[in-house]
Structures are given as C-alpha cells and as structure tokens.
Structure 1
Amino acid sequence: MKSKVEFYKAFFEELEKKGFGVDKPSSPDYVVDILFKGKTVAFYTKNDMIEKNPFEDIPEKQMERLWSIAKATVSLCGICNDKPYDDQKTEKLNNNVMKLNEHNGVILACKQHPLLGYVLSTYKQDTQNNNRPIQRQYFYNKEEAFESFAVRSGLVDEKKLFTESELKILYDGLIKVSTQDESLSQDQLEEVGKLVNRMEELLPELHKEEKRFDMSKLLDAISFGNMGNGMER
C-alpha cells in the first residue's frame, strides 16, 4: 500500500457493501461520518480511529463490527501487522517511536498504531532545532520502508534500481518476447520465465492468472508445434 488513501478507498467501499454509508465529515477532525440506516453511528477521525457518535445510542456490537471490517481491510491492503523489531534490542525514542536503524544521518523508525499496525517512516534530523525530524516519509509496508531507508541513507545506489514504471515496461516486454520470439531456445525461455516470476514477486499487482508466464504450457506448445512440423514433412 502506497498511502492511506488506498486504505480509505478500500475501507469505505467495504463499509458500503456491509450496509453502512459514508458521508462528508461533520467536523474538520474527521475524514468521514459513518452512517447506518440513515443515522450517524460513528466518525473516522484524522488520527485513523473509529469514534462512536456520543449523541446516539449505538450498540457496542455495531462498533465492534466497524473495527472488524477496518482491521480486515488493513490485512487485505498488505499493511504491516508483524512487529519489525525486537523490543529488547531496539532504541525507544519519544512518543513510543522505535528507532530501527540509522545511517548517514537518515533514521528508520516505527510506531505501532491501534488500527494501521506498524507504521514505518524514514527521516533526517534538524541538528539546529533539537534534532527535530524533517523530510519525513511514512510507509505502511515494511519492504517499501526498508527500500526507502537503503536509498535515502546511501546504502544502495538509487541509479542502479528500477522504478515501478520501468519494471512494468520491462515486464510487458518480457511477456511479448516469451510468446512471440520463436528464435529463443528452451534454456532462454526458462530464464525469461524466471525473470517474469521475479518481477511478479516484486510487484504483485502485475500478477494476473491469464498473463502469468507458465513455462510448462509454453514448452508443451513448442513441443507440439515441432511434432506437427515433422509430421507435415
């Protein structure tokens, strides 16, 4: 998940499927008001909490259901729910923030959120202002956070990495090569297949059942084609 907006979209859509409604916020403190049968039952706050409407008699079971839907959506969005650090070995900063790593003035930190799991961030410190965090970037996926830290801190040369857009272009090119280039040997096709599968692991959204590179089917088709040519001769 790249941003909270993706979670919001998925969560609000799921609420509507479950019979709830979503309306514009009645306060600047809220993202949306949550309705059930035309009545405002709760508010989704800008702190990413679900707050019960204190002016209505809302059953606790209904609030539990809202939280259950939200947590299920968190899981579906791939938000980090596994603790990425050891309490005994990790330095604790202010406001219950845990410092996972530091290199070249860049810090990788994490803070547990009641709904959004373990929210990670990378940032630098303003040494002239009590080391106040600056240029902070938030992540809801552990792999994305670690990659950001590696690049921002200089552990990895960004010039040697492909962007997602570049990977998608390469992926499409490999799919075309694997299905249209008849000059490739079986060994070359196998190598192309490995690259395609690695890209799908890096970018799961690339994976579609009908597009997945199936080496066994391709080799069967090639073998059948060769047999057919031999029979024609």
Structure 2
Amino acid sequence: MSGLSPCFAQCRLLALLLVIGAVGCTSVRLPPGSYSETRGLGVIMWEGKTLQIASNHTFAYSRWSDDINSGRYGTGTYQLTGTKLLLQFQESPPIVVGVQAQQLALPPDSLLLTFTILGRPVVGTAEAAPVSGATIAARDEKGKPVAAVSSNAAGRASLRVPPSTAQISVESLGFVTWRQACPPGSTAYRLELPPNDGTAYAAGTVLKFRLVRRPPPNTLVMKRGKNQTVFKRD
C-alpha cells in the first residue's frame, strides 16, 4: 500500500480531535485543603469566606465574621475546566439541635424547666461555648409568650411554666431556634445550638467563577462578574 486513503486519514484526524476535545473538557482537581479569604498581608478582616476542597471533587463553602451571623453557604461538587470553576450545590442535611433531657424529681403541681445552652457561633469551632442572653419562652397554643427568661453568662436558666403553656422555645441571634411541646413534668435540658445558616444556597444552585491564571502558590483567585476573591490555603 502506497499510503492511507483520504477517507481513512480524515477518520483518524476526526478521532484525534475528539480525544483532544475530551481531554480539554475533563474536570481538573484543585489541590485539596481549606482555603481562607485574604485581602493582603497585614489587612485586618472582620468577615470573609472559607472554601474547603476535598480530593473527590466535593467542596464546602462557608462564611465567617466577628459577629454571630456566621454560617455555611452549602456543600456540593465542583467542576474545573480550563479557568472556569463551577460550584454545584447539593441538598444539605437537616440542621439538628443537640438535645439532652432528664426528668426532675419535683412535685407534679410544680412545672420547672432548667436549661444549659451551648452553641457554635462560627463554623468549624472546635468546642461549643455557653450562650448568654438566649431567650427561653413558654408559649400558649397561639404561640404567644406567657413567660420568658434569659440565660446567664454560663448559658444557664430556669423557667417556671404557667398552666397555659403549650410550647417552649429557645432563641438567640445567630443560632437555630429550638421549639418543642411543653413536657408533662419538670425537666432539665441541655441544648447545643448550631449556627443559623440562613444564607445557605438551595440545592441545584450553580455558582460560576473564573480563575485567574498563575496565582501565587497555594492561592486561588476567583472572579464572579466584577467581584474578585482571593483564597489562601491554610
């Protein structure tokens, strides 16, 4: 054979182009780790974002601040093709308040509730801390407060429950509100409140970013529209 037929040569060229295209569209992995927003050496930040990247193309995106309004944006999977980064949010697990309850040996005509309230106001806090100033309320069937107290610096409070009480609640700014039906007898509660994730993205949301090429080592420079955010790996 003196050479390849034109048809065979065209088929080989088409196959090569398809392979190159497939490689170019393959999602690239980001270096795993926790990336924190930075605004330059020596710049004091009162709020920022954290992007945690895992080795299996999953992420956790959250925000933090010096006030108590911190929380997560959500979790999901990411795709990085060239300089285009897509964060695809998935349904987050339900937020659960940790509750421990123990009945108190008190006369049946005396309904007393005691509380120890802990919380994690910032995502990633190692240990829960006492929540002072939380409002513990006894509510009637319409949800109207009929009695209320506030937790002290140690996160503790006691509430004498009126007969008209149908529900009890615990509220504190920056934390998930806890509610439940009033117990039939005196009870001691220990609550661990998670942060209020009111800013979480709904499942199916996709955030589109463009990565700036060749940033410093262990750094991600992400642009979304006119906004640019710099993340430094911890």
**Bin of the TM-score, shorter chain as denominator length:** under 0.3
Q: TM-score, normalised by structure 1?
A: 0.21
Comparing both chains, which one has the higher relative contact order based on Cα–Cα distances under 8 Å and sequence gaps of 6 or more?
A: 2
The structure that has the greater radius of gyration is: 2
